[in-house]
Structure 1
Amino acid sequence: MAINQIFKLFIVISSIVFFNNISFSQRLNHEYLTNNKLNESGTALTYHVSSNKERKLYLNDLKNKRVYKFDNINPNHMLNDEYFIGLDHANKTLFIVELNKKIKDSLVGVDDFEWIQNTNTLVAYSRQTENLKIRNLKTGFTDTFYNIRDYTTNLVSSNLAFVNIDQTIFFYSTVNNHITKFKNSNSKSNVKKLLWDKAGRNIYGLFVDSENFEIHKYSNKSNQFVFSNSICLNDKNMQIDTLFNNSFMLTDQRLAVGLKRSDDFEVNSDEPEIWLGSSNGITPYEEKLKFANQQLAVIDFKKKKIYDYSESERLLKFAISGLEKDIFSYEKSSNDIFSRIKPQVEIYEYDKTNLTKKYLGTFNAPDQNIKSSDKTDLLFYFKDNNWNYYDKKLKRFVNFTKNLNDYFFYKNNEFYEMIDSPINQYLLSYKDKFLLFNGNKHLWLFDLYSNSIKKVQTSSNKNYSISQANYSINRTIWDWNISVNQLEYDDIVLTWKSENHTTEGISLLTDKEEIVDILEVNSKIKQIVRANKKVSYIREKANQPPAIYILDFDSKKETLVFQSNVSDTLIKNMKVVYHDWKNNQNKLRGAVVTYPVNYDPRLKYPAIFEIYEQKKSTQHNYVTTTLTTGNGINSRMYSNEGFFVIRPDIFYEIGEPGPSATQCVVDVLDHLIDVLPIDNENIGLIGHSFGGYQTNYMITQSNRFKAAVSSAGVADIINAYFTFSQEYKIPDMFRYETQQFRMGKIFYESKEKYIENSPLFYVDNIETPLLLITGKKDYTVNWHQSITMYLALKRLNKQVNLVLYPDEGHSFMKQKNILDASQKIRDWFNYYLKSGNKPEWLNEGL
């Protein structure tokens, strides 16, 4: 009897601690950390610290032990070993810090700036006054120009060009501050674009009047007429895009320009839409895309000729790639059978001299499956779960990874069984001789001279990935995919994770083709930024807020620079453990478990399962108690209130999304009940989106959950399969055949499986009280799916409630609704899992 009284007293005390903890945490001004830049020597870095009150950029000068703070500075600032330059857009103030002199200066009335590294020149521009100021920060030389409409810099040559209100073009060298002026002889034309050649020695001015366009070439000495033509092309209903937004120099003699339809797209709401069964895609949306689409023309200055590649009645996409700037095209929706979000495409290659094209073959969607490099004319593409290349000189296609002891797709993602989906791959150059390919087991070097591939040798069993610290993203319309600006270092920064994501690390691929491990930690590493011999990054754990570190390559020494959320002293009480094992069928299982605060193994605790795909990558995530989404739960908040929060890994079988997910969750539940003091009578279940579907399905198959919440979930996958997405303007069939629902077949080939995996057909089995939440502007998962689930359960007199938010989409955005939904979910679980008071909104519908 005495022992039971002690336990009861402990529970009361623990409850008081839980609520005191959460009350204190919610008063904290939680900070969110973003790593920005690291200078070349690794002696200064910048990072943003944001909260609900402010957003500041910190400039931390480690060498001189000084920290500067700025408001409203965006990530597009400049930092090197001598200077920091950052623009406060809100106040139009440009801040300049001379690091070695410890001097802070500012310029007011600035809207934009450029930094020319080679000559230490700052270019600052004001849109309001149209003044352009040029200042050499080394010498102090300053020059100012007035009534400037546009400007552009070239970092290779350190030249600058700009145009004023009178359409006079200025060619300016920041090397010797020499300027040359060129007046526009045609008073009717206006400069629309200034384009540099590759070396930056010449600038091309693109002029437009009402009917024609002209191109002039300028250097520091001369002005030369290059080309002119009518804006409208004679026989194709196409015209030059006179904004020239997608124009760039292919060579010093060839310019690529965008073309658009010369007629307008008219929408008449009084007329019926006609959806033709014979057309590609959905007819009215396909036609609208054709008008918005940019096609291609190439101007040859030497031949004084324009090559028009366009076909106005087709939705053609163009790509320019390789050493010789080869031109390819494909029709975006020619094979749009709705089974893929990105349909396969038929690729054509053009002969540059006569515009004839030849068919190369059918390729997977180019967005991630087709790659090119300016190091080679080979065209790389992913097909049949392997990397291939097309050699235009030998006119052959080669699969160069099929016999390697590796795989180049995400094996844990079952999509690979239905669609070619490679590991995220950019073609990074290595030693100017190789391209680097990322496998799941190894790194591979593709030899650009022999077209052969070899493995990077390593003594460890780690699975390495190429870090984004090695490049910045470059987006242009004429690329196959997102291209990169690679940083010029001899080595490559790598990252790795253990199979269960408990351990992470940083390594280097040296110029000797060796991998050297330089860091291993039991925490999450993210946002890596590199310098010559150092990297900065954020490291965090479930019980350690995000912090900025610097790692020295040579000494392998890790230095803490900034610790966020130091006032969050209660975080040390958090306990998050990743449990993994194999079930009795020898299948891998795992779950991230957040323990109740002040956990005592002698007590029983309620638990909530939060489900969505695999969760092991979240085990080190730092969570603030103020972080709410309205579509899920805050694990830390529920931990503070005495819950286990369990996030299971879910593995799927093709054609069995519902049963396989259910089996994974049941396996996790059975295992954890054996090893943890979980109250088997008080277990909840919650999921959002695909997790909402899983929740809907699981409670039709198991009554082990005392209460459930389904946010924006699917109830009937047959009905959803035939839904047209108002958000993406495409049918939703792809989601079910080849993407997240993993059915693997069209409905008519597998009717029984679609029925078996639809919760709607088994709602009569449900005994679990269900709360449904969605927004009435959700067209990612059509909000009527939640109504379907509600009506089915209500018709059977089941315990169900639905909360609809009129102005929310798939993920809630308005703070009022986020807080309201989060509170209703909390009320729901407290009522059912902790015998709490029935909330008023369940009685009165308020």
Structure 2
Amino acid sequence: MIPQNILPVGIKKQESLYMNLNFFLVLFVILPLVACPLWGQVVQKKQLTEFDYQKWGELIVENISQNGQWISYRMIYDNDIDTLFVRNTANLKTYNFPKGIFPRFAGNGHLICKDKNNLRTLNLTSGDQEAYPMDTQVEYSSARDQIITLLKKDKILQILNLSTNEVKTIHEVVHFSLSPNEKEVIISIKENSYYSVGILGLDNTSEINWIIKQGSGEFYNLTWEENGKAVAFYTASDSNDDSMSLCLYNLQLKKLYKLDAGEQSNFPLDKNFDKDGTYPLSISPDLEKVFFGLAPKNRPAQKKASDTVEVWNTADKWIYPREQRSGRFYEKANLAVWYPASGNIVQISSADFPSVMLNGNKTMAIVSNPKQYEPQFEIEAPRDYYIVNLVTGEKDILVRKQSEIHSDLLPSPSGRFIAYYRDNNWWIYDAKIKSHKNITQKIKVAFFGRVFILGGDSAYGNPGWTPGDKEILLYDQYDIWAVRYDGTSFRRLTKGRENKNKFRLSTLGDYDLLVQNYDGWKGVTIDLNDKLILRAEGDDGKTGYYSLEKDSGMKQILYGDSYFDNMHYIKKHHLYIYQQQKFNLPPRLVVKENNSVEKIIFQSNSHYNKFQWGTSELISYSNSKGKELQGILYYPANYSPKKKYPMIVYVYEKQSHGLHKYINPTLFSGSGFNASVLTTNDYFILCPDIEHETGKVGEDTVDCTVSATHHIINKNLVDPLKVGLMGHSFGGYEVNFIITQTDLFAAAVSGASIADLYSFYLTVGWDLNISDMSRFQSQQWRMGKTPFEDPDLYLKNSPIVNTAAIKTPILLWAGKADWHVNWQQSVEFYMALRRLGKSATMLLYPNEKHVLMKEKNQINLSLRISQWFDYYLKNDQSVTWPEEAVN
């Protein structure tokens, strides 16, 4: 039960839609009428309260129509009034879909989306809508400007010509798949217990080119070759696995090939076709090979943990829980290749080499075993990669003890080259001449560094290849390079290092420049003759976009003191559509045509300017060693230089990249920290960057945090006796350790934290089922040694060992189902504090994990943290629980 004195004041998330709609009606209709006499006058901005938080929503940018005239986006609210909007970028005409999700444009005049109950199509010109059952399959052919829908329950395929509004209907359709060129579909039909499969052209004819007519088996997993030259599919006449067949139909030759599991003499006797789709069907560009999955015929039934004893053996490659989740390779499907012309079958992967990917043109495979160098104690072991001859199945070594990071070994698009990163350089394997070449050794910059916050150093990345695989594109810390495949020449495409601006190819997602390749990835082709859009980030906190063209070089599109992202470039119409935000400016959508004036399409949370709000500032400070570092300082709303404020220091490694991120005020926070809520409650917030050297995780944390805090205190902005400290997870560890070394902080909050490095080293991260030892060698903790090699190192950096020195009152919290950081770490620290008579309170939330997910618990935690700091930093005596003992 939540104590009465921490119940939220405002309307809760669970309140009815009716009440919220009435509230917004009053807010936006009645209030302006009442306020009419004040128009033209300066209106005093209001103090933000808990009641106001529900007005804020999160903007989610979805997609843009081909001509840039329409944009779809969603607004998501804590009170669940979520809505999908579709807006015209020129005249701002808008449609909305309550609870709408998964929007996509069908050409420039129609939208397809889902709402709570239906799949819908919208005519953007007329506003007419069509609703379909939720399980309807819908595709759009840009080549024919047609929407194809399959009403699965009724088995009706409809093809709507958007130019003529004519509808073509085909009955008894079970499955269909649109071709890559979007000019035809493959369909499977069931009539009177007979099945047929054929190719239907999306032109004016209704003729179907039947591949198999009135067969006895169903056709499914309809798969196109990537250029639309062939299709593959499975067929089965009954539930007997031996009756399954794999088919390939060559559209150019109009020839059907069939592989029967029960009749093919060289089909493995202990295997069946993989019905689970572990390895989706794939056809090689030369149409000579079909890749498919083979599953063991008699998979052993996996016993439940409650049925038997768990046997953990120190000689096991993986610890028991990881083996149960990710191992047991003998039970899993394997990739195989079928040669339709000869009927030959070659199994590619196996229990010994379970991980597999293909090269770019699918002429060879690359296999490995993730357990090969286990047991070891990094997060993932390196492995040997082998090249498999797809005709004979023979293996040749490609590279030994190679990093398992997915982007550190990537086949090129053409298939001739395999790029891999090792020994701080990029290498190319040339399959044509079977040679390895270090291609970056002559370039005097580093192509590796700290890319992932939770990891060690790694390659900055390989975003792709130029046409014909002539050059590979590589990132260094700041720039993009084009390096010839044999390393004989190289050129820097950008000039970021001079001003410490980081340039990257503009993408909307982390994997946009990678192609899924079974258990790995492969690179993409990037034509440097085209106009490329680059995203830029400066060490000074500025962000923006540049264009890169072959003749004119780099040109700035936009760049400044804001966080710009979600850039869409509409080449044909020279339009740039993007999102902009700052800490004191909610995200908004903007359109810009070449050098024209920017036009705001949509401003989220437009009521923001009615409320007092803080600002953010990038600070620079030096630690005790003279290392220059950065951080974010958030100013209180309605800041006055005549007043000294309390301050909360929030710690967690590097945070300065979030300088311009807007933060919606909310109590629904999984970690209880919200900078906007705290700044509107008259707090400064400091988020310093912290850099760690190997073996000095605690020492460097204290040095950087204390140095940054004194830097702000010396500016005479804050009361030096009213500074609090807060962190979560690794940041929680940092809080725990800092207060054992200094009395600078008047109060602290530590969430889901670590207190004893020695015991934590020996725990299991149950969310990933891996040993927590992996965090310590070169990952986030950077200890460099085991506790058995240097026990004093672990003791020296463990807060629990130094608990006696603590004078700062601390609030601990954890979820009792936390599988990421064992919640007993918080209990251990609490027991040490209790035994030593220190001022501490612990909150344990049953059935909660590393961050709190239940709304009532999120509110409880957020309010308790606020009250904890108010009590110690503002002398607020309205609540007394921070110092009360539980009776």
Match in the other structure for 1:56: 83
Match in the other structure for 1:546: 587
Match in the other structure for 1:167: 195
**Residue number among 318, 325, 332 corresponding to 2:356 in the alignment:** 318
Match in the other structure for 1:833: 873
Provide the C-alpha distance between the structure 2 equivalents of 1:405 and 1:683, rounded to a whole number of angstroms: 45
Alignment of 1:726-737 (within 5 A): 726-737=766-777
Structure 1 residue 603 displacement after superposition: 1.8
Q: Given the alignment of the two structures, is residue 280 of structure 1 paired with residue 317 of structure 2, yes or no?
A: yes
Query: What CA deviation, in whole Å up to 9, does each residue of 1:350-381 have, x standing for no partner?
Result: 12221110122221014231112213421111
Match in the other structure for 2:625: 585
Match in the other structure for 2:9: none
Counterpart contact for 2:650–2:687, Cα < 8 Å: yes
Query: What CA deviation, in whole Å up to 9, does each residue of 1:552-573 have, x standing for no partner?
Result: 3x32643221111111224564
Provide the C-alpha distance between the structure 1 equivalents of 2:429 and 2:122, rounded to a whole number of angstroms: 49
Alignment of 1:597-608 (within 5 A): 597-608=637-648
Identity of aligned residues (%): 24
Counterpart contact for 2:121–2:129, Cα < 8 Å: yes
Match in the other structure for 1:706: 746
Q: Given the alignment of the two structures, is residue 241 of structure 1 paired with residue 281 of structure 2, yes or no?
A: no
Counterpart contact for 1:35–1:529, Cα < 8 Å: no
Q: Given the alignment of the two structures, is residue 42 of structure 1 paired with residue 68 of structure 2, yes or no?
A: yes
Query: What CA deviation, in whole Å up to 9, does each residue of 1:69-106 have, x standing for no partner?
Result: 223432441254x322212242324223254xx45342
Counterpart contact for 1:437–1:443, Cα < 8 Å: yes
**Residue number among 440, 446, 453 corresponding to 2:490 in the alignment:** 453
Query: What CA deviation, in whole Å up to 9, does each residue of 1:709-735 have, x standing for no partner?
Result: 100010111111111222211111111
**Residue number among 362, 382, 405 corresponding to 2:444 in the alignment:** 405
Matching residue's letter, 1:261: P
Q: Residues 710 and 65 of structure 1: is their aligned pair in 2 closer, same or farther, counting only changes over 3 Å?
A: closer
Match in the other structure for 1:261: 296
Counterpart contact for 2:612–2:638, Cα < 8 Å: no
Matching residue's letter, 1:61: N
Q: Residues 433 and 602 of structure 1: is their aligned pair in 2 closer, same or farther, counting only changes over 3 Å?
A: same
Q: Residues 414 and 479 of structure 1: is their aligned pair in 2 closer, same or farther, counting only changes over 3 Å?
A: closer
Structure 1 residue 433 displacement after superposition: 4.6
Counterpart contact for 1:709–1:771, Cα < 8 Å: yes
Counterpart contact for 1:720–1:732, Cα < 8 Å: yes
Q: Given the alignment of the two structures, is residue 765 of structure 1 paired with residue 805 of structure 2, yes or no?
A: yes
Provide the C-alpha distance between the structure 1 equivalents of 2:692 and 2:150, rounded to a whole number of angstroms: 55
Structure 1 residue 483 displacement after superposition: 5.9
Query: What CA deviation, in whole Å up to 9, does each residue of 1:458-497 have, x standing for no partner?
Result: 4963331121159846663525237669799812211111
Provide the C-alpha distance between the structure 1 equivalents of 2:756 and 2:269, rounded to a whole number of angstroms: 47
Q: Given the alignment of the two structures, is residue 535 of structure 1 paired with residue 576 of structure 2, yes or no?
A: yes
Structure 1 residue 334 displacement after superposition: 1.2
SS in 2 for 1:567: helix
Query: What CA deviation, in whole Å up to 9, does each residue of 1:303-329 have, x standing for no partner?
Result: 1111112433x3610010123532010
Provide the C-alpha distance between the structure 2 equivalents of 1:242 and 1:45, rounded to a whole number of angstroms: 39
Provide the C-alpha distance between the structure 1 equivalents of 2:529 and 2:152, rounded to a whole number of angstroms: 37
Q: Residues 742 and 453 of structure 1: is their aligned pair in 2 closer, same or farther, counting only changes over 3 Å?
A: same
Structure 1 residue 283 displacement after superposition: 4.6
Matching residue's letter, 1:257: F
Provide the C-alpha distance between the structure 2 equivalents of 1:505 and 1:270, rounded to a whole number of angstroms: 58
Matching residue's letter, 1:249: I
Match in the other structure for 1:358: 396
**Residue number among 143, 148, 173 corresponding to 1:148 in the alignment:** 173
Match in the other structure for 1:423: 460
Structure 1 residue 182 displacement after superposition: 4.8
Provide the C-alpha distance between the structure 2 equivalents of 1:528 and 1:25, rounded to a whole number of angstroms: 34
Match in the other structure for 1:9: none
Structure 1 residue 453 displacement after superposition: 2.5
Counterpart contact for 1:35–1:537, Cα < 8 Å: no
Provide the C-alpha distance between the structure 2 equivalents of 1:150 and 1:78, rounded to a whole number of angstroms: 22
Matching residue's letter, 1:582: S
Match in the other structure for 2:245: 214
Matching residue's letter, 1:174: L
Counterpart contact for 1:409–1:440, Cα < 8 Å: yes
Counterpart contact for 1:298–1:307, Cα < 8 Å: yes
**Residue number among 225, 228, 248 corresponding to 2:260 in the alignment:** 228
Match in the other structure for 1:180: 209
Provide the C-alpha distance between the structure 2 equivalents of 1:291 and 1:475, rounded to a whole number of angstroms: 27
Provide the C-alpha distance between the structure 1 equivalents of 2:219 and 2:274, rounded to a whole number of angstroms: 14
Structure 1 residue 623 displacement after superposition: 1.8
Alignment of 1:524-673 (within 5 A): 524-532=563-571, 533-552=574-593, 554-555=594-595, 557-570=597-610, 573-583=613-623, 585-626=625-666, 628-673=668-713
Provide the C-alpha distance between the structure 1 equivalents of 2:333 and 2:675, rounded to a whole number of angstroms: 47
Q: Given the alignment of the two structures, is residue 816 of structure 1 paired with residue 844 of structure 2, yes or no?
A: no
Scaled by the length of structure 1, what TM-score is found?
A: 0.91
**Residue number among 428, 439, 445 corresponding to 2:476 in the alignment:** 439
**Residue number among 73, 90, 95 corresponding to 2:116 in the alignment:** 90
Query: What CA deviation, in whole Å up to 9, does each residue of 1:586-626 have, x standing for no partner?
Result: 31122211112222222221111111111111111212222
Counterpart contact for 2:100–2:114, Cα < 8 Å: yes
SS in 1 for 2:412: coil
Q: Given the alignment of the two structures, is residue 696 of structure 1 paired with residue 736 of structure 2, yes or no?
A: yes
Provide the C-alpha distance between the structure 2 equivalents of 1:366 and 1:702, rounded to a whole number of angstroms: 39
Query: What CA deviation, in whole Å up to 9, does each residue of 1:169-208 have, x standing for no partner?
Result: 1320002433234555652x33232122333243333213
Query: What CA deviation, in whole Å up to 9, does each residue of 1:626-659 have, x standing for no partner?
Result: 2541413222222222211111111111111111
Alignment of 1:679-694 (within 5 A): 679-694=719-734
Q: Choose 286-295 or 271-280, whichever is displaced more.
A: 286-295
Match in the other structure for 1:3: none
Provide the C-alpha distance between the structure 2 equivalents of 1:364 and 1:673, rounded to a whole number of angstroms: 45
Provide the C-alpha distance between the structure 1 equivalents of 2:68 and 2:228, rounded to a whole number of angstroms: 30
Counterpart contact for 2:195–2:213, Cα < 8 Å: yes
Counterpart contact for 1:591–1:648, Cα < 8 Å: yes
Match in the other structure for 2:58: 32
Provide the C-alpha distance between the structure 1 equivalents of 2:471 and 2:597, rounded to a whole number of angstroms: 30
Q: Say how many residue pairs are matched.
A: 821
Q: Residues 455 and 376 of structure 1: is their aligned pair in 2 closer, same or farther, counting only changes over 3 Å?
A: farther
Match in the other structure for 2:408: 369
Provide the C-alpha distance between the structure 1 equivalents of 2:782 and 2:148, rounded to a whole number of angstroms: 53
Structure 1 residue 800 displacement after superposition: 1.3
Q: Residues 844 and 291 of structure 1: is their aligned pair in 2 closer, same or farther, counting only changes over 3 Å?
A: farther
Q: Residues 362 and 721 of structure 1: is their aligned pair in 2 closer, same or farther, counting only changes over 3 Å?
A: same
Matching residue's letter, 2:358: I
Provide the C-alpha distance between the structure 1 equivalents of 2:629 and 2:257, rounded to a whole number of angstroms: 70
Alignment of 1:448-527 (within 5 A): 448=485, 452-456=489-493, 458=495, 461=499, 462-469=501-508, 472=512, 476=516, 478=518, 480-481=520-521, 490-501=530-541, 503-512=542-551, 514-527=553-566
Matching residue's letter, 1:195: T
Provide the C-alpha distance between the structure 1 equivalents of 2:826 and 2:600, rounded to a whole number of angstroms: 48
Q: Given the alignment of the two structures, is residue 749 of structure 1 paired with residue 789 of structure 2, yes or no?
A: yes
Counterpart contact for 1:580–1:588, Cα < 8 Å: yes
SS in 2 for 1:332: coil
Matching residue's letter, 2:172: N
Structure 1 residue 291 displacement after superposition: 5.3
Scaled by the length of structure 2, what TM-score is found?
A: 0.87
SS in 2 for 1:50: strand
- Structure 2: unaligned runs, 5 residues or longer: 1-42
Matching residue's letter, 2:95: Y
Match in the other structure for 2:840: 800
SS in 1 for 2:355: strand
Q: Given the alignment of the two structures, is residue 346 of structure 1 paired with residue 346 of structure 2, yes or no?
A: no
Match in the other structure for 2:435: 396
Match in the other structure for 1:299: 338
